[in-house]
Amino acid sequence: MTGPEKGFTQQVSVVSPKPALPRRATSTGSTTINDPALEIDWDGDNDPQNPRNWPTWYEGLAIGFISWGTWVVVVYSTAYTTGILQIMEDLHISSKPVVTLGVTTYLFGLALGSVILAPISEIYGRKPVYICSMSLFIILLIPCGLATSLPEVLVVRFLGAVAGSAMLTNAPGSVSDIVTDEYRALAISIWWSIGPLNGPTFGPIIGGFVTQYLGWRWINWIVMVLSGVALAFSLRRKETDDPRWWSRYDRKVAFKKLLKINLSRPFVMALTEPICIFWNLYISIIYGMLYLYFVSYPIVFTEIRGWSVGVSGLAFLGIGIGSFSAVLTEPLLRTMINAHRHDPMTGKVAPEAMGSVICIGAVLCPIGQLWFARTCVPVTVHWIWPILSGIPFGAGNTAVFIYASNYLANCYGIYAASANGRQLRCQKFGWRHIAIGWPGNVR
């Protein structure tokens, strides 16, 4: 690689040609002539420093680190639900829906943070955003664990979610940076199954036993330890930080102007890009249904069937198994996608080929919902049936999320974080607009 040996990741759209610049160029907004000898670029397609040419084991390790951080942030969102009864008693709250606002404010924070931190990562890079965000997330766990009133819990959880949202909204962009187009769906499926999907699944499982044996405040301390590990992973990567080096993709414009452009990009894309408009609406409904399961399962298995808090969390294993099944079938799904007509210019299938997998997931989701709605009550129905209903629902959700994210990454290239960030915001808002009494259908 021409330039420093480490710490730079090329972010180039898969649909846009490499911009041509004169050998002695002046960056936008600058009067300084850049030395061509100090330009950052790759030494051909096989440059070993290019992240897409990293050894498979190292790419897997990087994806694992990203997935772990995402998993921790999402686990914290749903682990809270298992401690609602203890929070009501400890903080002297009589209304259960009011305490449930802890989930709502957290999702609001994830939604707001996604539209701020996604474009900022496109200005300063992924690593600084990961480190700063995770550090703030860890700090905010302390006042939440020591809170003496519900408003304290709600405010701190909201701010913590804003910080932690970086792990969700920037991860698809990070994965796209290091994985080739052919295996991007597999990489995103691994990240999504570990983090955004199985994070909510393991949250009630972990939170249930922690709440039962240690108390609801200990959820914060355990998440703090897990977050510390994620922060340590983020600190492992090194950068040269030499201002002499420059890239044709680094536009030296005024900071305020650059910030305005990048912060407004997710909103502009959401309002003017038909692709983003459609996926924002659809994914918000699908994700809303997923989070309703985290409200309805405690009602069905704890309140109606009388299970303990810890054991009722195990009911989410059905959704977890479904999500993993979608990941395990990725080679088969990739073969189905590659069977579509290839573009004669690029030799690759169009991004729209992933729609075939999304259609399968779109059918599996309502099957699981109807199954759960018809078997969750009365208690005379064996408990295994509502748990098994989570398998098709989990598989469908995973397929939709993975291949929708992969589709956006293929379409928008270097702006994948902005596209997925706006999508994430609509996901978090969407769940609130579906009645809690209708997790599957109206009985």
- pLDDT tens-place string over residues 123-133: 777 788 889 99
Check residues 426 and 262 and name the one with the higher pLDDT.
Answer: 262
Instruction: Provide the pLDDT confidence category of residue 110 given band limits of 50, 70 and 90.
Output: confident
Instruction: Round to whole Å and give the CA distance between 382 and 174.
Output: 44
pLDDT given for residue 384 in this prediction = 94
Residue with tokens 């960056």: 27
Among residues of the chain, what percentage have pLDDT more than 70?
76
User: What pLDDT is recorded for position 114?
Assistant: 78
Q: What is the pLDDT of residues 291-350, one digit of tens each?
A: 788 778 888 998 889 888 778 888 888 988 998 888 888 888 888 888 888 888 877 888
**Phi, psi torsion values for 349, nearest 5 degrees:** -75, 155
pLDDT at 217: 94
**Higher-confidence position of 261 and 299:** 299
pLDDT on residue 320: 84
Confidence of residue 9 (pLDDT cuts 50, 70, 90): very low
Residues 6+ apart with CB under 8 A from 393: 289, 293, 319, 322, 364, 365, 367, 368, 369, 371, 372
Give pLDDT, residue 420: 53
Instruction: Round to whole Å and give the CA distance between 142 and 220.
Output: 7
pLDDT at 407 over 50: yes
Task: Using pLDDT thresholds of 50, 70 and 90, give the confidence band for residue 435.
Answer: very low
Selected residue with higher pLDDT from 235 and 74: 74
- Which pLDDT belongs to residue 397? 87
What tokens does 17 get?
Answer: 């040609």
Summarize pLDDT for 357-395 with one digit per residue, the tens.
999 999 999 999 999 999 988 888 999 999 999 999 999
Give the pLDDT band of residue 434 (cuts 50, 70, 90). very low
Name the average pLDDT for the chain.
77
Q: Which residue has the tokens 């690689």?
A: 1
Element (H, E) at 263: helix 255-272
